[in-house]
Amino acid sequence: MRKNTIIIAILIYCALPISITAQRVWTLKECLDTALVKNITINQSYLSGQITRINLIQAREAQLPNLYLNDSHSLNAGFSLDPYTNQYTSQNISSNNLSLNSSVNLFNGHVLLYTIKQNKLLYEAGLLDIDKLKVDVTLNILAAYMQVLMDYAAIDIANQQVISSDTLVGQTRKFLQFGKVAELSLLQIQSQLASDKLLRLNTENQLQLDKLTLLQLMETPFDSLFEIKKLETEDSVLVVIPSSAQINEVSVGFMPQIKSASLRIDASKASIKLAQCLGIPSLVLSGGFKTGYSSIRSNYTTDTSYQLTTIGYVKGDINQPVTGEVPTFNSNKQVQSLGSQLKNNFGEFVSLTFSVPIFNRYVARNSISIAKINVHYAELNEQQLKNDLRKRIEIVYANELAAGKKMLAVKEQLDLERRTYADMEKKYSFGAVDATSFLIEKNNFDKASMSFIQAKYDYALKTKMVDFYLNKPLNY
């Protein structure tokens, strides 16, 4: 039992480093998804899109009535007008005005309607601008990913060259022992081995640099253990593709920058409608409640009392007084309470405002002229984008054709060099050719092999670029 436990522990210990050091292998889709999530420019565009969306929401909510609660408090000293008694006084006055107001546009020449339409178009165009940024990132990631794939293949070729040269070194040593070749031949083969190792080292260094480029496009810190999924390209067969005009026709239909430009033309046309609305009458309904308070507003009460008083004399004889009840008036002043004033001063109001722009200093006319110029500018911008796309597709198309022709030519050269090298290798093994002639042919074969790898992956990249503009999925 103890022996089994020890064996299990050893197996776990041996497997542990493998699981810890297991490195993630990235596919093209994973690289692209990471780049799209981390790209700063794309994220900034998302934020700009949120602002545009809020502007659209605000344009829609502008159709709702507004509601304001207003409260103002005033202190007046010296000679002033009491706002509630409407009398001038030299007393200090503390007053307060409270109101609740609301208004709604019944008709404003469809300004709100066209504002909503314009903001909706700008919001949709902004989303398409984000898609355009994604297109740029996608193409950059594709090119960098394919470059790393080519580096992997180049390293495989370099390794084969090193193994071949190392085998030749061992074979030449045996030839030297039996006197079939001179020592110079061994030195030449060893020199070739050193050159092949240097080429392999340079290729490995280039791989690290190209990985760094890919990681930077992904906004990811460099990791020396970063690996992508190694995939072989398709066989070196030319792919039949449509003409550049056909590719452009397909591309114009789905490329986001073209759709965005078209939406911005419509948004500019909505600006013309908005400017024309500046000359249309408007109708606004307003209403509300109001009340207030004054510190000197008072209630006055009068009390009447009667008192028996001498009111005269009979024939002027003071000994014969005449008495009667005379009224006495007493006035009392009492400041009104806050609650009673707010209740007594309460009022309602409603108004219907009809406004006709008779002369607005040519604001409407000039705004319409500017809006028409902006429409023309947007149309030219759309045409420029279409021209740029056509030119880019023409370049991609020409590059794909040139890369395909080059790949076939290099493949034909490689096939001939492979046969020549195989024949030369046999002759060298029998001592029929010297090391110099053999190494010349080996170098020619090695260069042709490396050139074919570069041509093959370059053609694969150019083909993928054409597929992208044909709206075909990237299948790496």
- Sign for the CA dihedral angle at 79, 80, 84, 86 comes to positive
Q: Is residue 257 part of a domain?
A: yes
Question: Among 45, 48, 63, which residue's Cα sits nearest to residue 110?
Answer: 63
For residue 322, tell me if it sits in a domain.
yes
Specify whether 412 is located in the same domain as 468. Answer: yes
Same domain, 273 and 305: no
For residue 372, what is the domain's CATH number? 1.20.1600.10
**pLDDT for 371-423, tens place per residue?**
999 999 999 999 999 999 999 999 999 999 999 999 999 999 999 999 999 99
60 found inside a domain: no
The answer to the question of residue 53 being in a domain is no
92 is a domain residue:
no
Neighbours of 200 (CB within 10 A): 18
> Do 402 and 472 sit in the same domain of this protein?
yes
The answer on 312 and 208 residing in a single domain is no
Does 366 map to a domain?
A: yes
- Asked if residue 418 and residue 322 are part of one domain, the reply reads no
Reading the chain (476 residues) residue by residue, the pLDDT tens digits are 444 443 444 344 344 443 333 578 999 999 999 999 999 999 999 999 999 999 999 999 999 999 999 988 777 776 666 665 666 666 677 778 889 999 998 888 888 999 999 999 999 999 999 999 999 999 999 999 999 999 999 999 999 999 999 999 998 898 888 888 888 988 999 999 999 999 999 999 999 999 999 999 999 999 989 999 887 766 666 878 899 999 999 999 999 999 999 999 999 999 999 999 888 898 999 999 988 877 666 555 566 666 777 777 766 677 777 776 767 666 555 667 777 777 778 889 899 999 888 888 888 899 999 999 999 999 999 999 999 999 999 999 999 999 999 999 999 999 999 999 999 988 988 888 888 899 999 999 999 999 999 999 999 999 999 999 999 987 65
* Residue 168 within a domain: yes
Domain count, the chain: 2
pTM value? 0.79
In a domain, 103, yes or no: no
Pair (253, 322) in one structural domain: no
Regarding whether 389 and 271 lie in a shared domain, the answer is yes
Domain region containing 310: 298-335
